[in-house]
């Protein structure tokens, strides 16, 4: 894990969040169906990312949150300081019998610019970095393979190098209730998702 100097202390108890998904009514919290797997993805502001994945067939439920840093149970305001080390991310709970990890990764790569480092468009800061946090070795292998394949496509298109972090998930912290399914509650809200126009090969 990357260590962030001066990381905020955080807290011992979770912050308040929602219990159920505002769109499909399913629980945001485990236990999830036994057949489901979990992957955590960061592509910039989590509002549009969550919308992108809850619309994906085979995804059981999604939740906005913070991961990849050090501060326990951070708030949105703390994460935005850059002193928690966390990225804005979305927990994607999916049924691999319905949607493959390759399909989810293709959606991930094609819907943001993974070459921008600590930013996504006009959103600047380490909380907006591109990140894949896995819960299974097979997911990590698939992510690394898809990154290599997408890099080849990006390079052929004259684009830069991928800066996406790929590593096992240590801890996911749920974001505040008002962030959960934000664009369902605020249809005219901000969505910063913007791909490169480059297609990602799939296995």
Catalytic residues: 45
Asked if 152 and 191 count as a contact pair (C-beta separation under 8 A), the reply is: no
Which of 85, 86, 7, 98 has the alpha carbon at shortest distance from 40? 86
Asked if 97 and 35 count as a contact pair (C-beta separation under 8 A), the reply is: yes
Asked if 32 and 107 count as a contact pair (C-beta separation under 8 A), the reply is: no
Which residue is listed with tokens 């049924």? 95
Largest CA distance in the chain: 48
Token pair in block for residue 126: 């380490």
Asked if 128 and 44 count as a contact pair (C-beta separation under 8 A), the reply is: yes
What's the chain's length in residues?
A: 203
């Amino acid at each position: 894990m990357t260590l962030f100097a001066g990381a905020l202390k955080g807290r011992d108890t979770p912050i308040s969040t929602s219990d159920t998904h505002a769109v499909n009514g399913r629980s945001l919290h485990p236990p999830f169906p036994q057949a489901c797997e979990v992957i955590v993805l960061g592509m910039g502001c989590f509002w549009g990312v969550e919308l992108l994945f809850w619309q994906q067939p085979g995804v059981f439920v999604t939740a906005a949150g913070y991961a990849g840093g050090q501060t326990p149970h951070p708030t949105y305001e703390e994460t935005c300081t850059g002193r928690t080390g966390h990225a804005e991310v979305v927990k994607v709970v999916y049924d691999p019998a319905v949607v493959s990890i390759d399909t989810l990764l293709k959606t991930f790569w094609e819907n943001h610019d993974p070459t921008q480092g600590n930013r996504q468009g006009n959103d600047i800061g380490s909380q907006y970095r591109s990140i894949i946090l896995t819960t299974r070795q097979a997911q990590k292998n698939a992510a690394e393979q898809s990154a290599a394949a997408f890099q080849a496509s990006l390079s052929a298109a004259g684009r830069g190098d991928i800066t996406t972090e790929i590593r096992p998930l240590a801890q996911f912290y749920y974001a505040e209730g008002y962030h959960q399914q934000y664009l369902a509650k605020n249809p005219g809200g901000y969505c910063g998702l913007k791909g490169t126009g480059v297609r990602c090969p799939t296995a």
